[in-house]
Structure formats: structure tokens, C-alpha cells
Structure 1
């Protein structure tokens, strides 16, 4: 229930209105003038103000202005006589939620109070959401694991710089999301982020797409075309799958990185472009250098800063949070009810190896929603590869009957790993809760997670 402040110089209205609001469970504070009300507001949290319009020394309008200026936005209902309705409408223009005529109808009063409180709650929720989005603008990189927290910190540190960045990680880990976060947190965020997948174009088409071409440069070049290097001037160019960049074109890209200039295909004019290049790959570029398929000088120009996205199997504690997020998004997009994951489905998702990483998790949950016909997404809604996994037992008892097939120290480590994984499942990925279940400190748990490469 809400804490409501009644401000009225007429004692009877303060008593009657206060009793009405208290009868439905609200906590009521009364003031006989706006000055006393301002003293109350300075020391107490008030959810709603109901104030008379005409009062001696300070009117309800002036009181509302004082509240807005000194206290901040508080839901405000004005009480007025018929002759002063125009003034009450003026009060609504400067922030009052509504006005009611004296003498008021009890049901109308309670309904208006409920609406004002609901509106205030919605405004507060929207404000909190906006603040959270502003404070965590790169939270599209979902996860509370140490690896993801470290990655977000690195992104915040390097985003404002002009240097090139190389993002590494397996397919499906979310490298493009990192590029988006880097651009969004950079001084270039008001300009374009232009993305291109280098593996999606043949060599001649990729050259034209990136650098543009002059009219008549090749068959079918009927007019001059600006390339992405020009289009992204002042912004960021994201080169996805840079490991697929043709060897013959690599000197041209190197020149852009070194000189910030290039020529269109078939052109002679030097074109300057102020761009920041972010590249990403799932391939081992150092091995490609050894094999002669990637230039060493280009690698070092791209790799001024390197950011690595860990595979999902190395940050399993993020799986419950990611699963919930995907289920909410997918159920909304598909127009179906949001199901709960059964404990067996949670267990199976947690222990799966995820060769396709976060992208595979999303695809599997989308498939599960298509087959789910009730309030719970069960194991049988998941693909066949999940059905052969060991059944989930309550707590940590699944380790009890393990055969001794290795020396005791290694066997104990295996058991410890399984106990930690089971605790994380029961704690839905919350490390503090998992540590509590295991009877160890959180720092000790984090040490063991790193020791066993579970993060």
C-alpha cells in the first residue's frame, strides 16, 4: 500500500479523506498547510499527494511548483471547487496527475488514487529501465561470468580509442555484438557502423564492395559506385571473417590502415577516409601467417588490441541467464506463451558441449518452443543429441556411484568438478548461491572454476 499525504486547510476534509484511504490499507499523513507539507516531504518518502487548490498563504498551484522544484516529481491530485476548475486544469499542465471536485465521490476518489499510483509505478519502472540501459549499454553481451565481466571491462577501456581491434572466438560466440558495443561506446557512435562478411563475396566483388569502382572499371560497371570505405567515413567498419580476406587484396587493406587512403577499382584518385576498422575471425591467423595465406604486417596492424570471446562451454554459468533471455525474446516474437525450463532440460543445456556456442543455444531453444505444447519445456522438446545424456538426479548424488577408473587425486578432482557443476545448476548460475550450497567462499569457488576451466 502507498504512503499518501493529504494537504488541506479544512479539518473535516483531512479527516474524512484520510479515513477513506486508510480503510483500503493506505498509510496517510495529514498537513493543514503547504509549508507543513513541505517539511514532511523533506523527511519522508511520499507516494502520492492530494492537495486542496485554494489555501491561505500558499495556493495549491504554488505548492505543486515547490514540490516539483524542491522534491521532484511526486504524483499529485488536486481538489477544487467548481469555480476554480480552470485553475485545476492549469495545475495538470504543470504536472498534476488529475483533479477532483469538492465534495468528492468516494469511489471516484479511490479509482483516481489507484490510477495515479499505477501511473507513477509505470513511470518509475520506465525510468529505472532507461537508467539501466544507459549504464549497461553493452549488456547485449549477456552473462555474469568472470570472463564476460572481464570482456565488458576491456570493451569499455578500448572503445574510446581510434586503434584497430581484432576480435577472436569460435563461430557463434557473438563477435558482431562485441563490434556493436565497441562502436556504441566510441566517439563515433553518431556515425555509421558498417559491417561486411568477407567470406560472403568473391574476390572481385569484395574489392568493389569495399573500395568502390569507377564507371567502366569492369563489365557491368555502368556508373561510379562508392565503396564501404567511403560510406563509413567518420564511423566504424566491421570486417567479419577477416581470415577469409583474399591474399591479393590484403596490401590494399594494409594501406588503408597505414595511410587512411585508397583508390577505387579502375580509379587513380587518392581517397581519404577516417574510419576505425574492427575485424573478427574464428580462424588462427598466426597459423595462416606460417602457411603464407595471411600477411604478417596486416595481422599486426589489425591486432593492435585483441579481444577474445570465450566459447559457451567455458562460461557455463551464463547458460541459465542466456536461456531465459532467449525464451523471452523467442516467445514474444513467435506469439506463444513463455514456458519454464524443466530441471532435466536445464541440466542437459548446462552439460552440453555447445560446438555452435550462443547461436546454437538460441536455435535449439527456438526448436524447443516449436514443439512445446504446455507450460514447461521438457527434455523431449530438445534435439536428439540431448536425449542420450545421463539423467539428472537431485542435488549432487549423481557422483556417488562413479567407478574408480583413475588414480585417487584425479578421481577426487573429477568428483569436485561434478559437484561444482551440479551446484551451479541448482543455483541457476549464481556463483554466490552455488558457493553457499557447496559450503565454500565465493572466491574459492571462482578459483576452482578457473582451475577446472569452467569459465
Structure 2
């Protein structure tokens, strides 16, 4: 789950200082709410507050010390930064010992304020994500389509539409992205859910063995086959047959599958009589399928027949905002299976999860969750050590996203700014930081 943790509460009875802080924070892209006294702030801030608090120490009524104490009782993990004058330094140090996140001595600069706010919000996001893990965020929804990213939201919408049809569907995605799980989910959502679901690995058998498994064979058609065999296409009845890894389907069988999709009929090996097939066909494939077609290793006709309804499953590295929710679900599944409690996850480990490249996709994430639950070293420093840090990953994601928005807007900075919902100065600062020049996108 990607926690939207971009909210800063500013508490100060000095109107001019409060207004100045609000302006600086908003210009840097933060959402801000401000309060003139501690009582008003205490009424609005809850345990699941998606942000951090900046408060002056000296205020009438509920001052900064009392506000910190109340917020710390509410949630010790809520970052509170106190603003202190020269005479309040000892108080500020005492609050740090009691759990305050940091203090800013007056006068302080923007260069002191903004990095402190960013670090506090990063920590808060990780705390809330970890809390979601312990509370079982996403649990009970099934592990095929968990997440809030745009890509997985599109897949969910596609499956809702495809469930109402009987047409063949092709799922395309890297190994470990969950293509077979999505195919099974599509079967469960369809009106065929009470009928069999049979999955066949197109790369696991010889051409003859796979042909018999799919289509069956007539008696005496093969050595040792004195009796006829019924293939899975017939055994599935009105259910669903998933042709897994169809890019590995032997060339000799590709015309028979094309004929099946076109006519609804299949002929058992060694038989002159075709049989009517009622099962729905779903195929899964690696992205290399298109290259196999270009190289002549896979039938163009079959490819074009299959790709009419294609659902692409994005790799996990392209939907990192879904990592925490998926990890929480896998943790709970593994803990239930092992009959143990869900373990405590350190914040630094969650940061590494979000920064990891996930070459093994969802399957790799599930394996790490299993290791964590079973105490097999999944939380060790070496488990994800080869990847970039959290800041680098966030910077890379930010640059890629701004680049895509600028490209879509053809270099129109105002249109990009509106879509990104950023102040103009903030957008220009980020473009400069990432070396993005609007003119480069206007030429495309």
C-alpha cells in the first residue's frame, strides 16, 4: 500500500510566522493545515493522521509542551517537530528525550525546515504502512489483484468486463507477475465458475504428449493406448482451460489450437472425427511472445487470434506503491499457514521493500514474506542489499513520472503542472533537479 503521507499540521499563535511556514511548505508541494492554538490542533489530529506536526512551544492555553504530551499519548509514532526560542532550548531537548522528532531553533532557514519535514513524513509513511501490515491490510481480497496502482486497477476493471464474455483472453506479463492467478480469478468471476478449471503447461511435455493431453486420442492411436483417452479440452466441459506459457506451444500443435478458436472443434490424435469443445480458452504468455512471432517461432495467425482480448500484467517494479499491501497479505497468509503470529517488521526493511527492483515480481515478494514468517533470514540486511536506497528509488520514480506527464503534455508545462497538481515553482525546481527540459518533449 502506498500511504499518502504529505500532510503537515502547523501550530503557532504568531499569525505572521504561521502564514510564512504555510507558504514555504505549500510551495514545496506539501499539503498544510494550520492552527492558532494547541486545543484546536488536538481536536483535529487523530491516531491515523497521515502526516507530521510542527508546533511552537510558547502559546497561550495548550502550549507546545502540553500539545506534544497529548499527541504522544495518542500516538507515540507521530512525528512532532517543536519550534523553540533561545530560552526554550532545554525544554526542547527534554521533549526530544521524551520522543519529539526534532526541534528547530529560531530563526531557522528553509534549508533547515524542508529536509526535516521530508524525513519526518518518510518515517510517518513507513510507520503507517507497518501498522497496516499488523492490522492485515488487504487481507481477504485474494492475492491476485491486490493494490491501488493504476495498472492493477485497470486489470480489475478489465476482468469485470471480460467475465461476462466467453471469448478467449490472453494474459501477458513477466514471470511471477501472477498471470495464472488472474486467469483463475477470471474463471471464478465468470458464469463458468461451477465448472472445471484446468491449467495445462504448454512447455512441460513433448509435442505428442501435449497433443494427447489437450485433445485426447483414439484407441490404438499410440503405442500402449489400447483404449481412447479424453483430452482436457473435453474433460473441462463448460469450464475453462488455461494454456499456460503458450509461447512454448510446439509449432505442430499451433494450427490445431487456431482451428479450435475459430471453429470450437478439436480432433483427438488418431481420430478422423472432430469433437465439439465447450470450454473457454484462456492463455498466458511472457512478453517475449511478440518477438517469437517476429522470428517465426510462433504462428502469426494464432497470435492475432489470441491478442484480440489482451490483459497486460505490469511487473512489480512498475507498481511499487502496491508492495506493502501485497507484502502484508502474504505475511498474514504465511502466518496462518504456519500457525504463528505475524512478525514485527522494522521500518528500515519496509523502506528496502519499496526500493527493491523485484526481478522475480510478486512471486519473489511472496517468497520473502514466507522467509520472514518462518525466520529464515528474510529480514537480514543482505536480503535486499543489492538495491538502491529509498531516496534514490523515490527520486527515480518522481523523475520517470514527471517525464511521462511532460511527454503526454508535449512539453506544455502548465498542462503538466495542472495534472501533477504542483505549484509552478515546485515543478520547475523538480525539472531542474532531474534534468528535464520542456523543449525536449515539444519536439517529440
TM-score (norm 2): 0.56
Residue 150 of structure 1 corresponds to 154
- C-alpha distance 345-358 of structure 1, shift in aligned 2 (>3 A): same
Residue 384 of structure 2 corresponds to 386
Residue 347 of structure 1 corresponds to 351
Contact 2:215 2:230 in 1 (8 A): yes
- C-alpha distance 173-391 of structure 1, shift in aligned 2 (>3 A): closer
Q: CA deviation at 1:444?
A: 3.7
Q: Structure 1: how far apart are the matches of 2:325 and 2:397?
A: 25
Q: Superposed, which structure 2 residues align to 1:321-336 within 5 Å?
A: 321-336=325-340
Q: CA deviation at 1:151?
A: 0.8
Correspondence for 1:197 among 198, 201, 220:
201
Secondary structure of the corresponding residue to residue 274 of structure 1 = coil
- C-alpha distance 390-225 of structure 1, shift in aligned 2 (>3 A): closer
Q: Superposed, which structure 2 residues align to 1:369-408 within 5 Å?
A: 369-371=373-375, 378-380=379-381, 384-389=382-387
Q: Structure 1: how far apart are the matches of 2:144 and 2:396?
A: 34
Q: CA deviation at 1:413?
A: 6.5
Residue 169 of structure 1 corresponds to 173
1:303 aligns with 2:283: no
Residue 34 of structure 1 corresponds to none
Residue 359 of structure 1 corresponds to 363
Contact 1:165 1:279 in 2 (8 A): yes
Correspondence for 2:223 among 210, 219, 224:
219
Contact 1:342 1:379 in 2 (8 A): no
Q: CA deviation at 1:139?
A: 6.6
Provide Cα deviations, 1:12-69, integer angstroms capped at 9, x if missing partner.
Answer: xxxxxxxxxxxxxxxxxxxxxxxxxxxxxxxxxxxxxxxxxxxxxxxxxxxxxxxxxx
Q: CA deviation at 1:281?
A: 0.5
Q: CA deviation at 1:183?
A: 1.2
Secondary structure of the corresponding residue to residue 218 of structure 1 = coil
Q: Structure 2: how far apart are the matches of 1:298 and 1:419?
A: 36
- C-alpha distance 237-324 of structure 1, shift in aligned 2 (>3 A): same
Contact 1:234 1:275 in 2 (8 A): yes
Provide Cα deviations, 1:166-220, integer angstroms capped at 9, x if missing partner.
Answer: 1000000000121112111212222111111111111111000000012211112
Secondary structure of the corresponding residue to residue 220 of structure 1 = coil
Q: CA deviation at 1:268?
A: 1.5
- C-alpha distance 255-351 of structure 1, shift in aligned 2 (>3 A): same
Residue 74 of structure 1 corresponds to none
Contact 2:356 2:388 in 1 (8 A): no
Q: How many residues are aligned here?
A: 273
Contact 2:349 2:379 in 1 (8 A): yes
Contact 1:262 1:271 in 2 (8 A): yes
Q: CA deviation at 1:389?
A: 4.7
1:141 aligns with 2:145: yes
- C-alpha distance 354-388 of structure 1, shift in aligned 2 (>3 A): closer
Residue 242 of structure 1 corresponds to 246
Secondary structure of the corresponding residue to residue 279 of structure 1 = strand
Provide Cα deviations, 1:70-114, integer angstroms capped at 9, x if missing partner.
Answer: xxxxxxxxxxxxxxxxxxxxxxxxxxxxxxxxxxxxxxxxxxxxx
- C-alpha distance 416-206 of structure 1, shift in aligned 2 (>3 A): closer
Q: Structure 2: how far apart are the matches of 1:142 and 1:270?
A: 42
Q: Structure 2: how far apart are the matches of 1:388 and 1:244?
A: 32
Contact 2:170 2:309 in 1 (8 A): yes
Provide Cα deviations, 1:357-415, integer angstroms capped at 9, x if missing partner.
Answer: 00011112212333369xxx7444xxx352355666xxxxx57xx9xxxxxxxxx9759
Q: Structure 1: how far apart are the matches of 2:282 and 2:313?
A: 14
Secondary structure of the corresponding residue to residue 222 of structure 1 = coil
Contact 1:229 1:273 in 2 (8 A): yes
Provide Cα deviations, 1:92-150, integer angstroms capped at 9, x if missing partner.
Answer: xxxxxxxxxxxxxxxxxxxxxxxxxxxxxxxxxxxxxxxx97xx7x7741111111111
- C-alpha distance 414-179 of structure 1, shift in aligned 2 (>3 A): closer
Provide Cα deviations, 1:416-451, integer angstroms capped at 9, x if missing partner.
Answer: 55999xxxxxxxxxxxxxxxxxxx999649xx9xx9
Secondary structure of the corresponding residue to residue 284 of structure 2 = strand
TM-score (norm 1): 0.55
Contact 2:143 2:329 in 1 (8 A): no
Unaligned runs of 5+ in 1: 1-131, 393-397, 403-411, 421-439
Unaligned runs of 5+ in 2: 1-138, 403-416, 435-444
